[in-house]
Amino acid sequence: MKNLQKVAVLAGLTLAFSAFASSQVVFSVVKIPGSNPNSLIAINNNGQVMVNSGTGNSYHVATWGLSSGTESLGLPVTNAGGASINDLAAVAGTGDPDSSGNFQAFVWQPGTGIQWLGSLGGDLSAASGVNDAGEVVGLSYTPAFSQHAFLWTQAGGMQDLTPTLTNTSGGTAVAINGLNQIVGYYFPDGADNTLGFLWTQANGFQSLGGPGTLALAINDSQTIVGQSLFANGNAHAFLWTPTAGVKDLGTLGGSESSALSVNNKGWIVGTSLTTSTKNLLHGFLWTPTAGMQDFMTVAGLSSAVELYSVQVNDYGVIALSTNKGDEVLVPKMTGSISSSANPSVLGKPVTFTASISSIAGPPPDGEAVEFLVGGAAVGSATMKGGVAQFTTSALSTGTHAVVAKYSGDANYLSATYTAVTQKVNK
């Protein structure tokens, strides 16, 4: 299936606020310079994006941020690719440590550098996910050349999650959440189709869905997403919860879709075919209140952009790798400013209130909003629930343009909000 090729992107290394109007652009598109098209991409909650770049057949792993720009990991090998990044900026991926062609999983941590994770006895392993505890999941060959899913920890090394599988195609662990719950997919012995799985320390291995299911991401509420075959025979994006089971998320009009990432808000991003005859995979955002929306609609992306890899963080920032290069979709902060008394009286206090929010909600509490009068900064206030208030009695008589300016942060862009015309009488 075409979408399986998109989600099993390691194969080249390992195996040869609420509802939004459907017409409203609610994201800004920011291009990431220097990254390879059609490569793995990931983002953490600090707005750091893991990107892969390089020339020819070599790979270069780096991080990029709105304020920090691009920073190389400085890996000691030329053929390595990143797959996941956690909130401490640790990156998990796969590389060739000795240029032998035997690829191996690694984890890189700031200040510590790279650590090769070994294998389950075979000559190949590949990492696909890392959580904030530094625990890594992926796949590895066994001495019998069977592919098994693994969990690696600093204390315990590499643990086989599918030890009884003898099917050569075996299993792959794709993602791990903050509660050490792991999802992936496997080929049952004697089967030609995959099943999804959930693995927990307490309950061990649990199969998910029917034949053709791929479990690809999990959040801290144990919401699992991926791709599964449904009654019509088509592969669709799905959502699974322990209480409700599997839910078909549908498509953008085409026959196929796949959910690739879910954040702790319950937002899901992935790919889907559309009604277009060009057969390009478009990116989508699915939310519990608005359902599935094309990135063309919510971010104004071109219809010629085909998605390869996508991930969403808990602040609603979406990192995507496409045939045109890598980008982030940043929720647009919209706002207004009001006055407590207009006109006001000279020497009497007046309070200006700035209210700021986005499709993902307001900026974090404690962030600053600057207030300007006539272009000059006169004070600032911190936000709570997207509201910041500044009171002054120092305005002179006359008419003043009062502006609120949000400076942005690691996830959100700065924005200036329309001036309120304040009149001050004697």
Residues 218 and 230 occupy one common structural domain:
yes
Question: Which helix (H) or strand (E) segment is 13 a member of?
Answer: helix 11-14
Is the pLDDT at 2 greater than 80, yes or no?
Answer: no
CATH value at residue 99: 2.120.10.30
Residues 315 and 351 occupy one common structural domain:
no
Residues 325 and 338 occupy one common structural domain:
no
Taking the model in full, what pTM does it have?
0.93
CATH value at residue 338: 2.60.40.10
pLDDT at site 190: 86
Residues 324 and 354 occupy one common structural domain:
no
Residues 42 and 154 occupy one common structural domain:
yes
pLDDT at site 14: 32
What is the spatial distance between Cα 157 and Cα 118, in angstroms, rounded to a whole number? Answer: 9
344-345 and 415-425 strand pairing: parallel
Residues 290 and 375 occupy one common structural domain:
no
Residue where one domain finishes, among candidates 297, 331, 365: 331
Residue where one domain finishes, among candidates 331, 358, 385: 331
Residues 316 and 398 occupy one common structural domain:
no
Extract the tokens encoding 409. Answer: 């942060």
The pLDDT tens digits for 51-88 are 998 766 667 899 999 999 999 999 998 789 999 999 99
Residues 239 and 384 occupy one common structural domain:
no
pLDDT at site 46: 98
What one-character-per-residue DSSP string does 292-327 give? Answer: EEEHHHHH---TT--EEEEEE-TTS-EEEEETTEEE
Residues 276 and 421 occupy one common structural domain:
no
pLDDT at site 58: 64
The pLDDT tens digits for 200-220 are 999 999 999 999 999 999 999
- Look at the chain and report how many structural domains it folds into: 2
What one-character-per-residue DSSP string does 182-241 give? Answer: EEEEE--TT-SS-EEEEEETTTEEEEESSTT-EEEEE-TT--EEEEEE-TTS-EEEEEEE
pLDDT at site 55: 64
Indicate if the alpha-carbon torsion angle 218, 129, 321, 209 is positive or negative. Answer: negative
Mean pLDDT of the chain: 91
The pLDDT tens digits for 21-60 are 445 899 999 999 988 889 999 999 999 999 998 766 667 8
The pLDDT tens digits for 400-417 are 999 999 999 999 999 999
Residues 414 and 321 occupy one common structural domain:
no
Q: Residue 198's pLDDT band (boundaries 50, 70, 90)?
A: very high
Residues 132 and 104 occupy one common structural domain:
yes
Q: Which residue has the tokens 């929720």?
A: 331
What is the spatial distance between Cα 77 and Cα 97, in angstroms, rounded to a whole number? Answer: 6
Averaged pLDDT for residues 240-246: 94
Extract the tokens encoding 174. Answer: 């794709």
Is the pLDDT at 268 greater than 60, yes or no?
Answer: yes
CA Rg, the chain, in Å? 24
Cα dist from 172 to 82, 326, 346, whole Å = 17, 26, 70
**Residue 378, domain extent:** 334-425
Residues 371 and 277 occupy one common structural domain:
no
Residue where one domain finishes, among candidates 331, 361, 384: 331
The pLDDT tens digits for 343-380 are 999 999 999 999 999 999 999 999 999 999 999 999 99
pLDDT at site 12: 31
Cα dist from 333 to 115, 125, 356, 411, whole Å = 40, 42, 6, 11
